[in-house]
Amino acid sequence: MKAVYPGTFDPVTNGHIDIIKRALKIFDKIVIAVGENPTKQAVFPTSERIEMLKESTKGLSVEVDNFEGLVVDYLKKQKINTIKVIKSCF
**Single pTM value for the model:** 0.87
- Which residues have CB under 8 Å from 29's CB, separation 6+? 2, 3, 61, 62, 63
CATH class of domain segment(s) 2-78: alpha beta
Task: Please tell me the predicted confidence (pLDDT) of residue 88.
Answer: 46
pLDDT in tens, 32-89: 999 998 888 999 999 999 999 999 999 999 999 999 999 999 999 988 877 766 554 4
Using alpha carbons, select from 27, 87, 90 the residue that is nearest to residue 61.
Answer: 27
Identify the pLDDT of residue 87. Answer: 52
Contacts of 85 (CB under 8 A, 6+ apart): none
Place 1 in a pLDDT band, splitting at 50, 70 and 90. confident
